Amino acid sequence: MAQTASFPQTISSTVRSLDPRDFQIFFLSIFLCYGIYALDWGAEWSKYTTLIGVSLMVQLLGEWIVGNQQSSWKSAVITGLGLCLLLKSSELWVLALAATIAIAGKFLIRYKGKHVFNPGNLGIIAVLLLTDVAWISPGQWGSGFMLLFFFGAAATMVLLKVGRIDTCLSFLITFAALEFSRTVLYLGWGPDVFFHKMCNGSFLLFTFFMITDPVTTPSDGKARIIWSVLIGVLAFVLSHWLYIHAAPIWALIIAAPLTALLDRKFKHSLFQWNR
């Protein structure tokens, strides 16, 4: 007599079959609502609509031009939500430009089936360089252990499904070790200063959701660890020696082309989203 699957097993099987991007869209939407209603960002719906809407339109246009039969509209929504959470501007055209460059880069800058740059990262850096009315505001999130737990718990659910927890932890441990050595051991400041820096909302968003993009990270596990450690070191250097604001964002754009080199050195199958 065939055994009927238990309810927990059924739920577990259903969750495993879901597209990880569904989790990302859900959690990023929660984060946006948290910022609007709990942190008093203000309901700038025209800006959020512009970022998400333009991301979707450019994605669908690109798929139509290249004849892609499997739409990645969910990835475009994730990019748009990420821009809503990190990028600030007083001009709608700047936000539209960021979303356009972010998604267009996926189709125009590619190497062996992978786009080179993280879309959200590329869009943010592009408008920071091209305009003087765009910025990143790390302080908008505040900081604290609850925020760290909130981001960490949500992100872990996503990362475990896409197999990129090694990327997140390698970067986080590297950057945290360097920051602790400088802040506490060298400068003699209290651990509370160190934890305040590490619990910044923009930093956590970058750590758990941007650097872990499975399409633009190296395919092999060892290569991802090397790549993440390099980004951690570079972010630390940019922050404390060159005094660059939002250093991890800049470190990622600089290190992105290394993915192609590491993929050549460490052979591994390409990541594919669930369809």
In tens, the pLDDT along 223-275 reads 999 999 999 999 999 999 999 988 999 999 999 999 989 988 887 665 555 54
Does 98 share its domain with 157? no
Residue 179 within any structural domain of the chain: yes
Does 163 share its domain with 91? no
Q: Which of 113, 136, 159 is the last residue of a domain?
A: 136
Q: What is the pLDDT of residues 68-78, one digit of tens each?
A: 767 789 999 99
Residue 36 within any structural domain of the chain: yes
Does 121 share its domain with 152? no
Q: Which of 84, 110, 136 is the last residue of a domain?
A: 136
Total domains in the fold of the chain: 2
Does 149 share its domain with 126? no
Residue 189 pLDDT class (50, 70, 90 cuts): very high
Handedness of CA 5, 154, 122, 78 (dihedral sign): positive
Does 65 share its domain with 116? yes
What percentage of the chain exceeds 70 in pLDDT?
87
Range of the domain at 113: 20-136
Provide DSSP, the chain. -PPPPPHHHHHHHHHHHS-HHHHHHHHHHHHHHHHHHTS-----HHHHHHHHHHHHHHHHHHHHHHT-SS--HHHHHHHHHHHHHHEEES-HHHHHHHHHHHHHHHHHSEETTEESS-HHHHHHHHHHHH-SSEEE-GGGG---HHHHHHHHHHHHHHHHHHT-HHHHHHHHHHHHHHHHIIIIIIS---HHHHHHHHT-HHHHHIIIIITT-TTTS-SSHHHHHHHHHHHHHHHHHHHHTS--TTHHHHHHHHHTTHHHHHHHHS--PPP----
Q: Which residues contact 198 (CB under 8 A, 6 or more apart)?
A: 148, 176, 179
Q: Is the per-residue pLDDT at 32 higher than 70?
A: yes
Residue 42 within any structural domain of the chain: yes
What percentage of the chain exceeds 90 in pLDDT?
54
Does 42 share its domain with 82? yes
Residue 197 pLDDT class (50, 70, 90 cuts): confident
Q: Which of 86, 115, 136 is the last residue of a domain?
A: 136
Residue 6 within any structural domain of the chain: no
Residue 191 within any structural domain of the chain: yes
- Predicted TM-score (pTM) of this structure: 0.88
Does 115 share its domain with 28? yes
Average pLDDT over the chain, rounded to an integer: 86
Does 195 share its domain with 109? no
pLDDT of residue 16: 57
Does 123 share its domain with 32? yes
Residue 4 within any structural domain of the chain: no
Rg over CA atoms, the chain: 19
Does 51 share its domain with 151? no
Does 43 share its domain with 117? yes
Mean pLDDT of all residues in 156-164: 75
Does 132 share its domain with 24? yes
